[in-house]
Amino acid sequence: DAGVIQSPRHEVTEMGQEVTLRCKPISGHNSLFWYRQTMMRGLELLIYFNNNVPIDDSGMPEDRFSAKMPNASFSTLKIQPSEPRDSAVYFCASSSRTGGDEKLFFGSGTQLSVL
């Protein structure tokens, strides 16, 4: 299995531009998570999906952030417009919800720099 695949690995953009981060979960997994990591705030859970349905988006910082999961094999996290304070590493993770003690598998992350 290729694991969780994220793209791009690095993204550099200018303030005000739209940014789209992509994630392909592990085949057969039915839960998907988006995290953000910064030095100041550590690892923060932004949103997660079960069976392609958003369950909890309470961690999404503001309306500039949106996430979609159109099917079981693909998810996007979009920032529009981007701001310098959005600079961080964004991780996607997936798991197979089988009874409460499942483990998360993380991708390699997308390093986002907003200038």
Partner 1 sequence: DAKTTQPPSMDCAEGRAANLPCNHSTISGNEYVYWYRQIHSQGPQYIIHGLKNNETNEMASLIITEDRKSSTLILPHATLRDTAVYYCIVRSGNTDKLIFGTGTRLQVFP
Residues forming contacts to partner 1 in the complex (CB under 8 A) are 4, 31, 33, 35, 42-43, 45, 48, 50, 55-56, 91, 93, 95, 97, 99-109
- Least Å distance, CB 1 to partner 1, is 14
CA of residue 1 relative to chain centroid, distance = 20
For residue 97, give the nearest of 44, 32, 45 by alpha carbon.
32
The answer to whether 77 and 46 have CB atoms below 8 angstroms apart is yes
Nearer to partner 1, 35 or 65 (CB): 35
Nearer to partner 1, 19 or 109 (CB): 109
Nearer to partner 1, 82 or 94 (CB): 94
- Least Å distance, CB 10 to partner 1, is 11
